[in-house]
C-alpha cells in the first residue's frame, strides 16, 4: 500500500491498486472513498507531502497525527509573529504552543530562513509572558538571525547544475531537496555548528548519512553533490548575490531615501499611510483565518474571526466587516465548508441588509446547504438592490430548476439571456430545462 500524508492538509491518502481511501486528522477511524482526480482537492497547496510504501493503517494513523501536530505547531508560531492579531489571541496561541511536543520541528523550520523584512520577534515575545519555553525559542531565533542569513545565502548561492542535469528540472529538484533539508533540521544543525564554531566537515558527513538512510518512499536526489558544495560555499563566505559591503550600501541608500520621504510628509500623506496600514492589517487577519481554515483548525478560525470582527466594527464602518465575511464565505465554499459559508453570509446580511451582493452570496450558501426555498427568497431580496445583476438572476433560475419549477426556470433563464446574452451559465441552464421539458433546443 502506498500512502501520501500532509499535516498542512490534515489528510492521508492510501493507494492500493485502483482503491483510493482518504483519512482525516482527528477522524482516523472514518475512511472516505476518494479517487485519483481528487488529489488536488485533498492536498491543495500543501508543501509538506510525505510518501511511504508498505505501511499498515496503524502506522498511517500515527504518522498523520504526528504530521498534523507539527503543522499545527508551526502555524501557531507564525500566528505569534502576526501583529494584526489581538494580544489576547496571541497569548492563547503561545499557551497552546507551550504545551505541544513539536517545538523542535518549529525551531528547525523557523531557523531555515531569515525573518522577512519588517517582521520581528518582539510581537511574539510580548505574548509569551506565561510561556517561557516558547519565549526562549523566539529569543534564540532573534539572536541567530545573522547566522541563519549566512546559511540561507550559502544555499541560494549553490549553482543550478548541482541539483539537476536538465535546466527544466532544476526548480523542482532544488525545492525537493530544500524541503528535505528543512524537515530534517539540517539548516538548524548548520546554524548550531557555526554558533558553536564546530566541525563543518563532520556536518557534511552526517547530512549525507541522514539523506542516504531516509525511510520515505521518495528519496532525496543529488544530496551527495549538493551538501558538500553547501558546506564549501559556507566556508568560503559565499552569499550567492551581492557582497556584504554592497548590500550594506544598498540598505543605507534605501534608509536615506525612506528618511527623506518621512521628512516631507504632511497631514494628507499621514492619512494615506493610515489607510494603507488598516488595509494591510485587515488583509493579514483574513489571511490568518484562511490559513487556519485550510489547516482545518476551526478553533483558531473562531479566534481570528473574532479579532477581525472587533477591529472592523469597533469605531469603524461595520459594512466593511460584512464585505470581509462575504470574501471569507467564498473561500469557505471553495474549501467545501458550506456550513461556515452559510453562517458567514447570514451574519453579513444581518450587518448590511441593503447589500445586494451580500444577499446573492447568502442565496448561494443557502443553495449549497439545500435550503432551496430560503435561497429563492434570498435571491429575490438581492434583486431588490441589484435588479440587473447576472449572479442574482442565474442563482434564482438555478434554484427554480432544482425545485423542478421548470416553466418558471425557463422564463428566468430567458430573462438573463435577454439582459446578458453572453452568459454561458444561463444558456446551458436553459438547454437543460428545455431538455427536461421535452423540447429540442433551437
Question: At the topology level of CATH, where does 282-437 sit?
Answer: 1.25.40
Q: DSSP assignment of 185-230, as one string?
A: THHHHHHHHHHTT--HHHHHHHHHHHHHT--SSS---SHHHHHHHH
What does the domain layout of the chain look like in residue ranges? 2-143, 150-235, 282-437
Count of CB atoms situated within 10 Å of the CB of 117: 6
Specify the DSSP class assigned to residue 32.
Answer: E
- Scan for cell 497552546, then name that residue: 96
- What is the residue-level pLDDT of the chain in tens, covering all 442 positions? 888 888 888 889 998 888 888 888 877 778 888 877 777 778 877 778 888 888 888 888 888 888 888 888 888 888 888 887 888 888 888 998 898 888 999 999 999 999 888 788 888 998 898 899 999 999 999 999 999 999 999 999 898 888 888 888 888 888 888 988 998 899 999 999 998 887 888 888 988 988 888 876 677 888 889 999 999 988 876 444 333 433 444 444 444 444 444 444 444 433 444 556 666 677 778 888 888 887 778 888 888 888 888 887 776 667 788 888 988 898 888 888 899 999 999 999 998 888 888 899 999 999 999 999 999 999 988 888 888 888 888 888 999 989 989 889 899 888 889 888 888 888 888 898 888 888 644 4
Q: Residue 51's closest CA among 4, 98, 120?
A: 4
Sheet of strand 2-6, all strands in order from the earlier edge strand to the far edge: 27-34, 19-24, 11-16, 2-6, 50-53
The CA distances from residue 312 to 272, 332, 349, in Å, are: 18, 20, 16
CA distance 145 to 156: 16
- 372-385 helix and 356-368 helix, angle to the nearest 10 degrees: 170
C-alpha angle with apex 312: 310 to 313, nearest 5 degrees?
70
CA distance 189 to 203: 8
Give me Rg for the CA atoms of the chain: 27
Amino acid at each position: 500500500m502506498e500512502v501520501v500524508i500532509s499535516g498542512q492538509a490534515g489528510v492521508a491518502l492510501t493507494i492500493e491498486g485502483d482503491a483510493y481511501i482518504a483519512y482525516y486528522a482527528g477522524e482516523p477511524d472514518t475512511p472516505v472513498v476518494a479517487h485519483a482526480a481528487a488529489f488536488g482537492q485533498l492536498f491543495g497547496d500543501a508543501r509538506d507531502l510525505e510518501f511511504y510504501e508498505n505501511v499498515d493503517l496503524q502506522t498511517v494513523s500515527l504518522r498523520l497525527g504526528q504530521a498534523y501536530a507539527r503543522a499545527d505547531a508551526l502555524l501557531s508560531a507564525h500566528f505569534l509573529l502576526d501583529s494584526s492579531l489581538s494580544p489576547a489571541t496571541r497569548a492563547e496561541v503561545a499557551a497552546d504552543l507551550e504545551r505541544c511536543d513539536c517545538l523542535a520541528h518549529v525551531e528547525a523550520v523557523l531557523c531555515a530562513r531569515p525573518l522577512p523584512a519588517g517582521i520581528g520577534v518582539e510581537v511574539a515575545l510580548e505574548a509569551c509572558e506565561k510561556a517561557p519555553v516558547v519565549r526562549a525559542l523566539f529569543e534564540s531565533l532573534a539572536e541567530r538571525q545573522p547566522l541563519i542569513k549566512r546559511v540561507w545565502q550559502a544555499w541560494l548561492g549553490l549553482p543550478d547544475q548541482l541539483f539537476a542535469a536538465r535546466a527544466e528540472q532544476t526548480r523542482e529538484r532544488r525545492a525537493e531537496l530544500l524541503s528535505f533539508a528543512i524537515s530534517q533540521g539540517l539548516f538548524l544543525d548548520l546554524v548550531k555548528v557555526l554558533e558553536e564554531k564546530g566541525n563543518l566537515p563532520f556536518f557534511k558527513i552526517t547530512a549525507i548519512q541522514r539523506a542516504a538512510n531516509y525511510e520515505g518512499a521518495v528519496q532525496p536526489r543529488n544530496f551527495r553533490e549538493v551538501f558538500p558544495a553547501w558546506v564549501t560555499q559556507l566556508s568560503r563566505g559565499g552569499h550567492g548575490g551581492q557582497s556584504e559591503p554592497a548590500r550594506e550600501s544598498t540598505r543605507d541608500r534605501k534608509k536615506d531615501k525612506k528618511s527623506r520621504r518621512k521628512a516631507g510628509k504632511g497631514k494628507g500623506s499621514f492619512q494615506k499611510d493610515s489607510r494603507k496600514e488598516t488595509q494591510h492589517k485587515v488583509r493579514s487577519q483574513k489571511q490568518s483565518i484562511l490559513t487556519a481554515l485550510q489547516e482545518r483548525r476551526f478553533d483558531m478560525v473562531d479566534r481570528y474571526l473574532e479579532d477581525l470582527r472587533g477591529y472592523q466594527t469597533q469605531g469603524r464602518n461595520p459594512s466593511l466587516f460584512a464585505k470581509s465575511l462575504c470574501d471569507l464565505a467564498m473561500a469557505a465554499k471553495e474549501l467545501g465548508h458550506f456550513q461556515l459559508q452559510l453562517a458567514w453570509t447570514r451574519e453579513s446580511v444581518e450587518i448590511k441588509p441593503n447589500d445586494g451582493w451580500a444577499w446573492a452570496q447568502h442565496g448561494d450558501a443557502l443553495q449549497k446547504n439545500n435550503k432551496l426555498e430560503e435561497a429563492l427568497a434570498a435571491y429575490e431580496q438581492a434583486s431588490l438592490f441589484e435588479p440587473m445583476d447576472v449572479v442574482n438572476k442565474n442563482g434564482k433560475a438555478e434554484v427554480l430548476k432544482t425545485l423542478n419549477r421548470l416553466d418558471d426556470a425557463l422564463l428566468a433563464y430567458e430573462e438573463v439571456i435577454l439582459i446578458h446574452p453572453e452568459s454561458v451559465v444561463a444558456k446551458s441552464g436553459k438547454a437543460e430545462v428545455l431538455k427536461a421539458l421535452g423540447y429540442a433546443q433551437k
